[in-house]
Amino acid sequence: MKPLPPSDRPSDHEQLPLSGIRVVDVGNFLAGPYAASIMGEFGAEVLKVEHPIAGDPMRRFGTPTKRHDATLAWLSEGRNKKSVTIDLRQKEGVQIFLKLIAKSDVLIENFRPGTMEEWGLGWEQLREANPRLVVLRVSGYGQTGPYRRRSGFAHIAHAFGGLSYLAGFPGETPVLPGTVPLGDYMSSLYGVIGVLVALRHQEETGRGQVIDVGIYEAVFRQLDEIAAAYGLFGKVREREGSGSFVAVPHGHFRTKDDKWIAIACTTDKMFERLAEAMEQSELATTGLYGDQRKRLAARDQVNQIVIEWVGSLTRDEVLERCLDKEVPVGKVNSIADIFEDEHFQARGNLARFEEEGLGEVVVPAVVPTLSATPGRITNLGPPLGDATYEVMRELLDITADEIRRLRQHKII
C-alpha cells in the first residue's frame, strides 16, 4: 500500500513529535483504538494486539472489501498500526503481553471494566511490569459508578449523555445524531489529551497513571450550556429540528434546485447582511426584525420569509448573494459534494492510497495540520497478524522455534 502522488508528507525517516513512543492498542472497534490511530499519525509506533483467530471485530464492521479481513471502516480507522496476535485468555499469552508492556509507553484498552483484571492484566500487574506505563481505559460508563459493568456503545452514549434527546423535530421521535459513532470518536479525542498530559507527567516523575474516560462523558461535555440552564432555571432544552433556540434564522433551507443550504445569523449585524442579500433591507429595521429578541419572538414568520427566498433561487445563487454580503452560509454537503469541493481538495482533506487488490482507497486525512511536523498516514488498516513475527522475534527476543510452538497452540 502506498499513498498516491502528489504528496507533501514528511519522508519516513523524518522525526515526528511522538516518534520513540510505543503504544499497545488492545481494544476493539473505535472508542480507544481511534486514539491510537491519532498517535500513530504523529509518529508513535502502534502495535495492535488482536485475538489470533478473530481479530478486532472492526475488521468485519462496515462495507466489505475483497480483503477478507478488512472492511472499508477497518482500512480507514486501523491506519498506522501493526497487527500482533496474542490470545490474552491463555496464561502464556498474558506472559507475552506483559513482556510487551515492559517495553512500551502507552496501553489503550476499551473492554468492559473488570475484564482486564479477570485476565490478570489489571493496573497492579501492569504497573509491576512497567511503572512508567500510561494506560488509557475507555468504556461506556467509566471504571467506577453503578453502571460501570454495562455494555457501552456510541449510540447508547449519545442517548445516555443527552445528545439524542436534542436531535430531531419538536414533539417527534429523537433521531440518531448522524449515522456515525460520534461518541467513539469524541471519547478517543479526550483520551489522546489524557495520554499526552500523562506522558508529560511521566517525563517529570518517571511514573505512569490511568486515564479513565466514559464514552457518555465525552458526549455530555459537548452540550454547551444545558447543564447550567437546568441547574439555575430548571430549563430543559427540547428538540428544535434544524434550527436553534439562540438565533433565527439559523438552520437548513431547501433551494430551488432541490439542494440544501445552511444559514447562521447569530447577531443583529448578521441578520442585517442577510436582509441586504435578500434585497429586503427593511426586515432589519427595529420596527420589524432588526433586534434579536423580536426575531426570536417571531421565529416562524422570519423562517418562512427565508424559506421562500431561498426556495426561489438555486444553491449557487444563494451562496453567491450571501457570500457577497458576508452572511455565514454553507452548502449542506453529501459525500459526493465533498469529493468535488475545491476547498476539500486544496486543504488535502482526502488522502488517497493504492491498496493492493482493491485499487484506490480514499480516507479522511490527518487532523490537525501542524506547520513544522505534520502528521502522516503510513498504512491503512493492516492484515491480521502482519507484524506478529517481527515483534516476537525482534522486540521480545523469542526464538523462531518458540514462535512456531506458540502458533501451533494458537497463543499467537
Give the residue numbers marked as catalytic: 184
Q: How far apart are CA 118 and CA 123, in angstroms?
A: 12
Secondary structure element (H or E) that encloses residue 228, with its range: helix 226-233
Read off the amino acid at residue 94.
Answer: V
Whole-Å CA distances, 265 to 170, 247, 252, 274, 283: 21, 7, 12, 8, 13
Secondary structure element (H or E) that encloses residue 229, with its range: helix 226-233
Q: In what order do the strands lie in the sheet with 106-109?
A: 82-85, 45-50, 22-25, 106-109, 134-139, 209-214
My answer on whether omega of the bond before 368 falls inside 30° of 0, hence cis, is yes
Among residues 89, 87, 102, 56, which one has the least CA distance to residue 406? 87
**Cβ of 36: how many Cβ atoms within 10 Å?**
31
